[in-house]
Structure 1
Amino acid sequence: MKIRLTAALGLSAALLLSACAANEGTPAPADSATGSAATDGSAPASDLQGTISGKGSSAMNSAQTTWIAKFQEANPGVTVNYAPDGSGAGREAFMGAGVDFAGSDRAFKLDENVAGASSLCADDSIAYDLPIYVSPIAVIFNLEGVDELNLDPDTLAGIFKGDITKWNDPKIAALNEGVELPDMDITAVHRSDDSGTTENFTDYLNKTAPSVWDNEADGEWTYEGGEAAKGTSGVVAAVTNGTGTIGYADASQAGELSVAKIGKDGNFFGPTAEDAAKAVDVSPMEDGRDANDLAINLDRGAEGYGIVLVAYAMACAEYADPAKAELVKAYLGYVASEQGQNDAAEGAGSAPLAEGLREKVLAAIDSIK
């Protein structure tokens, strides 16, 4: 299975048509500086002036590139910068007041997100975790002569843990009858940085293959061995330029690499935006949080492809600088709007937020001071 741009565009078109059908007859929100979609399908315009900077998730870099281009086109007085340096770097920069918002493929933990933790925020303010990007994580591989590959959770976990070291291992062969697998070493590539994509990937392995993946989910790689690469682009490059390589990356950045199907009991699924959306739809919010702190407890047992991530924008509930609050509200309001979500679906192949979740996110953004 290979993900190509044409396939991503076809998927995006289907998602857009589905979104239009689901919302048929619903009036478009009024244009406003807080980010509601404009009636002409463009990003909302405003007379705002200034610069805001974000850092974090490399998984949603394609989406951020799309959002920034659309927003700045409609708002030439505003400059938005985003550095895809990884989720951990984004959270650290936000807490250190080095950026105005962060992007992370996991939410702040409750003991991290306390009032006064970041000097960027007002003294009595926490940060809001705002879901803005939903996408599958693809298991990418580069194995000469093999384009299609089925893996179950135990086998996938064994490969990345280092227990399965040869491509013709009987466990892999049993899942790929008729495929000529070479007697070649497996090079499993993982992230070297603190990564939300890694945390989601290892959470999936821990919950679906606990007898093999006996470490809990973590943004930092917890087993020895394999090859480490920085950021999504680093993993993709290492898999692309290697031989007998396998890795994991946001599906939007898989490019021309082959992508494994994941499943069990003879049912295998490729990464799709529809399955990512389905997993989020059946997942509850985390307990014990502020009503506008929208962290999701992902259900990894959803039917279909379960290796998915939710990426969050992290913003102060109340900023120390009201001017920054106004700019962040405008940008994130567009990002979370129906138009912004559809723009990301078209540009990155992500799954637009479901209407109910989108409304919660927009209400939380509107409450930012």
Structure 2
Amino acid sequence: MKLRLTAALGLSAALLLSACAANEQPAEQETTAAEETAVAEETTSDDTTTDEGTADEAPAQVEGNLTGIGSSAMNVAQTNWIAGFQTANPGATVLYSPDGSGAGRDAFMGGGADFAGSDRAFKPEENVAGAFALCTPESIAYDLPVYISPIAVIFNVEGVSDLNLTPAVLAGIFAGDITNWNDPAIAELNEGATLPDLAITAVHRSDDSGTTENFTDYLNKAAGDVWTNEADGEWPIEGGEAAKGTSGVVAAVTNGVGTIGYADASQAGDLSVALVGNEGEFFGPTAADAAAAVEASPVEEGREEHDLALEIDRNAPGYPIVLVAYAMACADYADDEKAALVKSYLSYIAGPEGQEVAAEGAGSAPLSEKLGSQVLAAIDAIS
């Protein structure tokens, strides 16, 4: 089944601002009806935000350069965010390099990036004061969920466009236990399909990848008797074909024969996408299901205020394989001007306009009103 992913979720965010104009006359001064009319007209022309507050006022423009490194899964969203932000702020330049989540975290810790993008949060033992070169010595990093998306299981098998898989069969394929496309375990789930006598080539990421960590976390929690490895950003087993970055996996599946892989759904392109489920119910990747899974996922216990690392619910209804990508920033930057620019950019991408831009451009699920408010409060706390 070739699925075209669209973002059908609406955005609900309210900016409730009010402005009051004080055009009062002293108590002892009498005014004529004409004077009162003049005052009312002056108030109307000068104070245009009585009903809508300052919502129509354009935010102050910012200038400067920002460098981000990290998640290739969120590259499409970042491309759209940067275009929108730079249009609104012609004096600002944002560069984002989709080198992978692990590369992004390393670069941010070492001072090579002003912010990072990662499909997993910093682990508690990583997120300690003094670990981040651009932050003050007392500062931790904030993990800010800004991008929610399903991970698509993409495949390229001649003559097969529809494919149903259970978690156990999917795990068996990537574990190397199921090696041929006409294996009875696959055939049983796809009655009537003509499955070729063809070797399966399972493609995985070669780099330290947050998408891999989310994918292996799902396999472990949904089919732990088959996939016994715990979640890991580095592919944990031998075999298969390795490719760098999301684009590398997509290219390997596209150009291969009998290939199957995993990638952020925004970059599946024209490849066929498998349905995944149990007990005869199979689901394709949708933004709505990704949003539902994240909505059911609490912030990890023990995290400091504004460090919003989520514990993703892998058993949520609907399509089960989702990722949350984080923007990572200092709680307190050593450079105040850099802090102001980071706050401006992150406020844009996490706000209603940025989330709508990502939904339209990348098919991601906008943050819920509750999570969006938490993220914006955390960004506001950056200093």
For the aligned pair, the TM-score class normalised by the smaller chain equals: over 0.9
Q: Deviations over 1:347-368 (max 9, x none)?
A: 1000000000000000000010
1:248 aligns with 2:259: no
Indicate the residue corresponding to 1:186 in structure 2. 200
CA distance in 2, matches of 1:239, 1:94: 31
Structure 1 counterpart SS, 2:143: strand
Indicate the residue corresponding to 1:59 in structure 2. 73
Note the 1:247-266 alignment, pairs <5 A.
247-266=261-280
Report the alpha carbon displacement of residue 46 of structure 1 after superposing the two structures with TM. 2.9
The amino acid that maps onto 1:334 is Y
1:306 aligns with 2:320: yes
Indicate the residue corresponding to 2:239 in structure 1. 225
2:149–2:287 Cα contact (<8 Å) kept? yes
Indicate the residue corresponding to 1:174 in structure 2. 188
Indicate the residue corresponding to 1:34 in structure 2. none
1:128 aligns with 2:142: yes
The amino acid that maps onto 2:309 is A
Report the alpha carbon displacement of residue 284 of structure 1 after superposing the two structures with TM. 1.0
2:216–2:230 Cα contact (<8 Å) kept? yes
Structure 1 counterpart SS, 2:314: coil
2:108–2:133 Cα contact (<8 Å) kept? no
CA distance in 1, matches of 2:234, 2:108: 19
Report the alpha carbon displacement of residue 235 of structure 1 after superposing the two structures with TM. 0.1
1:45–1:75 Cα contact (<8 Å) kept? no
Residues 241, 28 of structure 1: CA spacing in aligned structure 2 closer, same or farther, 3 A cutoff? farther
The amino acid that maps onto 2:211 is T
Q: Deviations over 1:74-105 (max 9, x none)?
A: 10111000000000000000000000000000
Indicate the residue corresponding to 1:200 in structure 2. 214
The amino acid that maps onto 1:243 is V
Note the 1:1-369 alignment, pairs <5 A.
1-3=1-3, 7-8=4-5, 11-12=6-7, 14-15=8-9, 18-19=10-11, 22=12, 26-27=14-15, 45-369=59-383
CA-atom RMSD in angstroms:
1.5
1:94–1:100 Cα contact (<8 Å) kept? yes
CA distance in 1, matches of 2:134, 2:190: 52
TM-score (norm 2): 0.89
CA distance in 2, matches of 1:141, 1:340: 31
CA distance in 2, matches of 1:341, 1:76: 20
CA distance in 1, matches of 2:97, 2:72: 8
CA distance in 2, matches of 1:48, 1:217: 40
2:110–2:132 Cα contact (<8 Å) kept? yes
2:61–2:88 Cα contact (<8 Å) kept? no
TM-score (norm 1): 0.92
Q: Deviations over 1:13-66 (max 9, x none)?
A: x22xx33xx55xx45779xxxxxxx957x9x65332210100000000000000
Identity %: 69
Residues 27, 49 of structure 1: CA spacing in aligned structure 2 closer, same or farther, 3 A cutoff? closer
- Structure 1: any 5+ residue segments left out of the alignment? 31-37
Structure 1 counterpart SS, 2:325: strand
Structure 2 counterpart SS, 1:122: coil
- Structure 2: any 5+ residue segments left out of the alignment? 19-53
CA distance in 2, matches of 1:239, 1:355: 37
4+ residue segments displaced more than 6 Å: none
The amino acid that maps onto 2:232 is D
Q: Deviations over 1:250-269 (max 9, x none)?
A: 00000000000000100000
The amino acid that maps onto 2:322 is V
Report the alpha carbon displacement of residue 222 of structure 1 after superposing the two structures with TM. 0.5
The amino acid that maps onto 2:162 is E
CA distance in 1, matches of 2:287, 2:104: 24
The structure with more radius of gyration: 2
CA distance in 2, matches of 1:334, 1:50: 15
